[in-house]
Amino acid sequence: MTSSRPRRSGAQVLIDQLRIHGTDTIFGVPGESYLAALDALYAQRNSIRYVICRQEGGAANMAEAYGKLTGKPGICFVTRGPGATNASIGLHTGFQDSTPMILLVGQVAREATDREAFQEIDYRRMFGQLAKWVVQIEDARRIPELVSQAFHRSLNGRPGPVVVALPEDMLVDEVEVADAGPYKIARGAPAPDDMAKLRELLDQARRPMVIVGGGGWSAEACADIRTFVEANDLPVCASFRNQDLFDNRHPNYVGDLGVGVGPALGKRLKACDLIVAVAEELGRVYQATLPINSGMANFAAAAKAMKPVDGKRWKAETAAGHAEYLDNIKPGPLPGAVNMGEIIAWLNKRLPDDAIVTNGAGNYAAFLHRFFQYRGFKTQLAPTSGAMGYGVPAAVAAKIAEPNRMVVSLAGDGCFLMNGQEFATAVQHGANIVITVVDNGMYGTIRMHQEREYPTRVHGTELKNPDFAAYARAFGGHGETVEKTEDYAAAFERAVAAAKPAIIHVKTDPEALTSRITLSKLREQALAKHH
Applying CB under 5 A, which residues contact Mg ion? 412-414, 440, 444
d(C-alpha 52, C-alpha 431), whole Å: 13
Give the residue closest to ligand TPP by C-beta. 412
d(C-alpha 364, C-alpha 512), whole Å: 10
125 vs 464, beta carbon nearer Mg ion: 464
Binds 415: which of Mg ion, ligand TPP, none (CB < 5-8 Å by kind): ligand TPP
229 vs 381, beta carbon nearer ligand TPP: 381
> What are residue 196's phi and psi, to 5 degrees?
-65, -40
User: How near is the Cβ of 391 to ligand TPP at its closest, in Å?
Assistant: 9
Within 13 Å and on the Cβ side, how many CA atoms surround 407?
31
Q: Which element (helix H / strand E) includes 523?
A: helix 519-530
59 vs 368, beta carbon nearer Mg ion: 368
User: How near is the Cβ of 365 to ligand TPP at its closest, in Å?
Assistant: 7
Binds 383: which of ligand TPP, Mg ion, none (CB < 5-8 Å by kind): none
Beta 101-107 vs 74-78: how paired, if at all? parallel
Binds 363: which of Mg ion, ligand TPP, none (CB < 5-8 Å by kind): ligand TPP
412 vs 455, beta carbon nearer Mg ion: 412
Could you tell me which residues are beta bridge partners of residue 255?
237
Beta 8-9 vs 174-175: how paired, if at all? antiparallel
- Cβ atoms < 10 Å from Cβ of 263: 11
Amino acid identity, position 463: L
107 vs 363, beta carbon nearer ligand TPP: 363
User: How near is the Cβ of 160 to ligand TPP at its closest, in Å?
Assistant: 19
d(C-alpha 57, C-alpha 389), whole Å: 9
Could you tell me which residues are beta bridge partners of residue 434?
408, 502
User: How near is the Cβ of 334 to ligand TPP at its closest, in Å?
Assistant: 13
Which chain residues interact with ligand TPP by CB under 6 A? 361-364, 386-389, 412-415, 438, 440, 442-446
Binds 93: which of Mg ion, ligand TPP, none (CB < 5-8 Å by kind): none
CB burial of residue 481 (10 Å; 0-12, 13-18, 19+)? middle
Give the residue closest to Mg ion by C-beta. 412
User: How near is the Cβ of 416 to ligand TPP at its closest, in Å?
Assistant: 7
* DSSP notation for 162-198: EEEEEEHHHHH-EE--PPPPPP--------TTHHHHH
User: How near is the Cβ of 438 to ligand TPP at its closest, in Å?
Assistant: 6
User: How near is the Cβ of 101 to ligand TPP at its closest, in Å?
Assistant: 18
* C-alpha to C-alpha distances, 294 to 163, 183, 507, nearest whole angstrom: 26, 20, 47
165 vs 506, beta carbon nearer ligand TPP: 506
User: How near is the Cβ of 414 to Mg ion at its closest, in Å?
Assistant: 5
3-state helix, strand, coil in the chain (%, to 5): 45, 15, 40
301 vs 411, beta carbon nearer Mg ion: 411
User: How near is the Cβ of 161 to ligand TPP at its closest, in Å?
Assistant: 17
238 vs 340, beta carbon nearer ligand TPP: 340
161 vs 362, beta carbon nearer ligand TPP: 362
377 vs 443, beta carbon nearer ligand TPP: 443
d(C-alpha 166, C-alpha 108), whole Å: 8
d(C-alpha 69, C-alpha 29), whole Å: 21
d(C-alpha 451, C-alpha 527), whole Å: 9
User: How near is the Cβ of 361 to ligand TPP at its closest, in Å?
Assistant: 4
- Sorted by sequence, the CB contacts under 8 Å of residue 67 that are 6+ apart come out as 73, 74, 94, 99, 100, 101, 159
Q: Which element (helix H / strand E) includes 359?
A: strand 356-359
